[in-house]
Structure 1
Amino acid sequence: MSSAGVLLGAVAPVALIVATGWLAARALRLDRGPLTRLTLFVLVPILVFDQLWRTPGGLSYGLRLAAAFALASAGFTLVGWLAGRLLNLPQPTRASLTATTAFPNTGNMGLSVAYFALGDAGLERATIIFVVATVLLFSFGPALFKGGSLLEQLKMTLRLPLIWAVVLGLAANAVNLQLPLNLGGGLHMMAQGAIPMLLLSLGMQIAETRFTVSAYDLFASLLRILVGPVIAFFAGRLLGLDGADLVVLILISGMPAAVNTYLMAAELGGDAPRTARVVVLSTLLSFLSLPLVLGLARWAAGVS
């Protein structure tokens, strides 16, 4: 399959679900608030628990890859924060810029593109990154948007169901938990509903705001999809990654802004309209940038 076909297969379903949310909001005049809270506080924690529970070997598998992504994420966050400071943006917008730069879409975009690019080996590595990215996003994302003292941030973060989903997921994986009566199947079914619900809520947010691409939107989108892979390359080399590990690290770091950044901005106090536009615009632009990122990643890692 060609690079264009791979990316079209990853982006088209995302666009379909977002468009459905947009159409539903326009036609049915739905209240987005309950949907946002249901997704953030119920479905996303179940998704994380399910992913951690089912990941072979937990986070011990691919430890260097996980550490490299964590290091790269620190670089993403620093770049986004510095850009917001240099541009003298208001606090909500600065938090949103930091978040969209720091957190790539490692789930529905990252997993699918890595699979089609490198097969099962790509999917295994992308799953490790997805788990680490999810933990980082929901550990530090709420504190980033909410602000306050370190103690207040810690208390607020610990109140999120997601943190406890991480703990329980790791524990379930460690003891090889087996649930009776196919309850695991029920959890997995709910977990699969998290990403569509995220995208539907994004479409509803877009329907509520006038979508115009500003210089900020373009800058934030390019910061996410172009600067991320460069930082990831150096982080991967610093920790001695090569081959498929380095390719997937760079590729995932070039993904568009995570849909969850919009969800947090809407729920916890960021610039939700701008965040929504950056998520959409960076997703559209990634159709053009990801073939280049993939080619350069293969060249840098020496993978044919």
Structure 2
Amino acid sequence: MRFLTVLGALVASALAFAGTPALADQPVEWQISLQEAATPLMEQLIWFDNLLLYIITAISVFVLLLLVIVMIRFNAKANPEPSKTTHNTLIEVLWTVLPVLILVVIAIPSFRLLYDQIVVPEADLTIKTTGYQWYWGYEYPDHDGIMYDALLVEEENLQPGQPRLLETDTEVVVPVNKVVRLQATAADVIHAWTIPAFGVKIDAVPGRLNEVWFEATKTGTYYGQCSELCGIRHAYMPIKVRVVEQEEFDAWIEWAKQEYAGLDTNVSVAAADGEAGAQQ
């Protein structure tokens, strides 16, 4: 009876949480679903994830049904004289062919999705990001080489509405419905630039320039974090991307050219190193 009570509570909780809409910009407490898609790639990822969920659920139910049948029909009480059957040709063919067909069903959309992720279409904008211990540096090579760093806003400095461990002092700004090529590298150890709502995750490796792409279809502010264990402050190098209309992006570019003109990034490096030393 106690088991049924606990099981009922878990099922009710799962249904309640499943009905809670996921935010596109950041995770929510007790969220069990993926974040709401903000790019076509993420939409494909969610569709593929749901497909796999349906398949594995069907397999699990089928195997459970077979186990129940075996326990009921082939136990010692129901079969005082056990069968001496050693094989069944039809069953052996089915348990070989059906898994192959299931894998083909999974493989076709999987390869298509992998292709769409890897092959970068003609880009409207290129952004280069460099991972440092422990913050991100950004560069807009298409716009007079705008360069700046983005550091975590510490908890005591957060303003109302700013999420803890996700807010940065500067932000990446991109136009909506435009293809953005993101090039990633690192200056020290391996980092990973990740925005869950975009379906984007790319390793930033020292001495190597990797690239990925995204096309945000919704305006708003989106958050991510470094997804590669990179040292003592790995959990403190978030990512913030603001998606705006083209007119607002053009205005931001003109502002950024003035704001970040002649910016000495070594100042940010020294500040981050000093902060890391204080933490140690």
- Which of the two has greater strand per residue? 2
TM-score in terms of structure 2 length = 0.27
- Which of the two has greater helix per residue? 1
Structure with the greater alpha carbon radius of gyration: 2
TM-score in terms of structure 1 length = 0.26
